[in-house]
Amino acid sequence: MTLHKLSIAVFTVLHITFYAQSKKEMSALIRNEFNFAEKQYRFLMKSVPKDKMPQSYNASENRLVTRDISWWCSGFYPGSLWMIYEQTNDPEIKAEAEKRLALIEPNKTFTRDHDLGFMMFCSFGNAYRITKDPKYKEIILTSAKSLSTRFRPGMQAILSWDKMADFKGPVIIDNMMNLEMLMWASQNGGDQKIREIAVAHANTTIENHFRPDYSSYHVVDYDVNTGEVLGKKTFQGYSDSSAWARGQAWALYGYTMMYRFTKDQEYLDQARNIAKFILNNPTLPEDKIPYWDFNDPKIPNVPKDASAAAIMASALLELGQYTNGDEKKTCVEAAKQMLVSLSGEKYHAKLNENGGFLLMHSTGGLPLNSEIDVPLIYADYYFLEALKRYKDWYLQ
Ligand code: GLY
């Protein structure tokens, strides 16, 4: 064998060994995580009041923080339960998931803000995907119709909030996530107008929400009647001109998801550019768990946001499905690093601790002095979704 052939053979063996080990390790990590989640959520279940949803945990008071069903996060707990049930077949987890769906069903006609996609698709969407029960589909279709009533033709976008601070026609980047329910509904028996609304919203957001480096503003304030942009602001970020970490995660996930439904190259390119902004950002730590805002000048002495990492990991795994070569590898390896970090001691709860949540160290609204460095239900949700995606797409 020539030296050249020998070196190719050695490289091939090393390459295969690396991926084989890595696959084995990831497979074990994912299995362990779902087994842990089953036990941890059985613990969480015990302290959730019948008429409320779990949101976070106040460690100093050893108190579960809960919210009403109209809070934007009410779908994440049932959605997480469904994903845990899917992997473990635990009947108690399923029974709790069904109970929680029944509790939030009245949200299907809720029209007071834009969050219905989070509330009804993360919950009933998973339930329908797993059970194919037609009653869940009907609830999703009704919810999509309700959400579509918030579309304002003058601004070619869905109005995020009715009244908030001094905003006139606020649209927040988070709103991209609610389009998933609209796109799904339009492909599953819903009105085609619903699809047009989602596409119009995504196009308006590409036009107005992004800076030249593909970071996103949090809030764009519109004149509701004319669509004139009145201001580009923040509500939860460090400043109007900063890149709030979770906002970047919503943007990445949103455009990747829109590409899934439309195959529109513009959406894919947007997602690829957002991914580059995130992954090449000099403040992104080695463990790939971002600080709460990429532009907080006090980095590294500021809180992290594990929820942003979980959302980014899930989105990057999907983006990996639509990219090739080095770009695909970068997406998948970064997502893997996020999942490995989140599963490690620094971010991961111990059994029967952390109020029953899986992850620690998320940040909800730092400038609002709210939910700083705490567990958050949606961090758990997107962590579980990312684990499932890794298993389905990269371990088969
Ligand atoms: N959608 C609200 C948030 O991300 O905090």
Which tokens hold the place of 223? Answer: 């004149």
Give strand pairing partners of 103: none
Please count the other Cβ atoms lying within 10 Å of the Cβ belonging to residue 188: 12
Phi first, then psi, for residue 359 (nearest 5°) are -110, 150
State the pairing for strand pair 170-172/229-233.
Answer: unpaired
SS3 362: strand
* pLDDT, position 337: 97
> What is the model's pLDDT at position 15?
40
What's the mean pLDDT in 102-118? 97
Residue 307 CB–ligand 1 contact under 6 Å? no
Looking at residues 203-230, what average pLDDT do you find? 98
Cβ 55 under 6 angstroms from ligand 1: no
Quick one: average pLDDT of 129-156? 98
Phi, psi of 6 (to 5 degrees): -65, -45
Q: Whose CA is nearest to atom 5 of ligand 1?
A: 364
Using the 8-state DSSP alphabet, how is residue 67 labeled? E
20-24, 31-35, 124-128, 166-170: range with lowest mean pLDDT = 20-24
Distance CA 300, CA 344 (A): 20
| Exposure string over 239-271, b if 16+ CB within 10 A, otherwise e | eeebbbbbbbbbbbbbbbbbbbbbeeeebbebb
Asked if residue 17 has pLDDT above 90, the reply is no
CA-based nearest residue to 384, from 37, 28, 129, 29? 37
pLDDT band at 21 (very low <50, low <70, confident <90, very high): low
Q: Which of 116, 118, 235, 236 to mutate to test the pocket of ligand 1 (most atoms within 8 A of CB)?
A: 236
- Output 20 or 144, whichever has higher pLDDT: 144
Mark out the alpha helices in the chain (DSSP H runs). Answer: 3-46, 76-88, 91-104, 116-120, 126-131, 134-148, 179-187, 192-208, 245-262, 265-279, 306-321, 325-343, 377-394
Q: What is the mean pLDDT of residues 216-226?
A: 98
Res. 5: pLDDT tops 80: no
Phi first, then psi: what are they for 57, rounded to 5°? -140, 130
Q: List, for residues 161-180, the tens digit of each pLDDT value.
A: 998 889 999 999 999 999 99
Check residue 120 and give its pLDDT: 98
Q: Which atom of ligand 1 is nearest to the CA of 115?
A: 1
Q: Is 224 exposed, middle or buried (0-12, 13-18, 19+ CB in 10 A)?
A: middle
pLDDT at 154 over 90: yes
Q: What is the pTM of this model?
A: 0.95
| 240: nearest Cα among 177, 302, 167 | 167
121: confidence class by pLDDT, cuts 50, 70, 90: very high
In angstroms, the CA 341 to CA 139 distance is 36
Above 70 in pLDDT, residue 16? no
Chain-wide mean pLDDT for the chain?
Answer: 95
Distance CA 301, CA 296 (A): 9
Please state, in angstroms and rounded to a whole number, the distance separating the CA atoms of residues 102 and 197.
28
| Mean pLDDT (whole number) for 93-98 | 98
Instruction: Give the Cα separation of 215 and 74 in Å (integer).
Output: 28
3-class state of residue 36 by DSSP = helix
**Bigger pLDDT: 396 or 372?**
372
- Check pLDDT > 90 for residue 109: yes
Q: How far is the CA of 40 from the centre of ligand 1 (A)?
A: 24
Tell me, in angstroms, the distance from the centre of ligand 1 to residue 364's CA.
7
Which fold is adopted by the domain 32-394?
A: Glycosyltransferase (1.50.10)
Quote the percentage of the chain above a pLDDT of 70.
95
CB of 236 closer than 6 angstroms to any ligand 1 atom: yes
Q: Is the CB–ligand 1 distance for residue 246 below 6 Å? A: yes
pLDDT recorded at residue 164: 84
pLDDT band at 2 (very low <50, low <70, confident <90, very high): very low
Q: Poorest-confidence range of 4-13, 14-23, 84-93, 364-373?
A: 4-13
Paired tokens of 169: 């026609």
What pLDDT shows up at residue 88?
Answer: 98
Residues 67-102: b if buried by 16+ CB within 10 A, e if exposed: bebebbbbbbbbbbbbbbbbbbebeebbebbbebbe
Mean pLDDT of 133-147: 98
Q: How far apart are CA 280 and CA 150, in angstroms?
A: 36
pLDDT in tens, 285-316: 999 999 999 999 999 999 999 999 999 999 99
pLDDT value at residue 152: 98
Kindly tell me if the per-residue pLDDT of 19 is higher than 80: no
Rounded-to-integer distance, Cα 313 and Cα 305, Å: 13
Between the CA of 174 and the centroid of ligand 1 the distance, in Å, is 6
Answer whether 227's CB lies under 8 Å from 279's CB.
Answer: no
Residue whose Cα lies nearest atom 1 of ligand 1: it is: 174
Q: Is the pLDDT of residue 11 over 80?
A: no
pLDDT for 9 beyond 60:
no
Summarize pLDDT for 36-73 with one digit per residue, the tens.
Answer: 999 999 999 999 999 999 999 999 999 999 999 999 99
CA distance 215 to 245: 10
Using CA atoms, how far residue 199 sits from 61, 204, 208, 261, in Å, is: 45, 9, 14, 10
Taking residues 197-215, report their average pLDDT.
98
β-bridge mates for residue 304, sequence order: 291
Please report the sign of the dihedral spanned by the C-alpha atoms of residue 366, residue 369, residue 370, residue 371: positive
pLDDT greater than 60 at residue 12: no
**pLDDT, mean of residues 372-388:** 98
SS3 182: helix
Q: Which atom of ligand 1 is nearest to the CA of 365?
A: 5
Residues that are catalytic: 115, 174
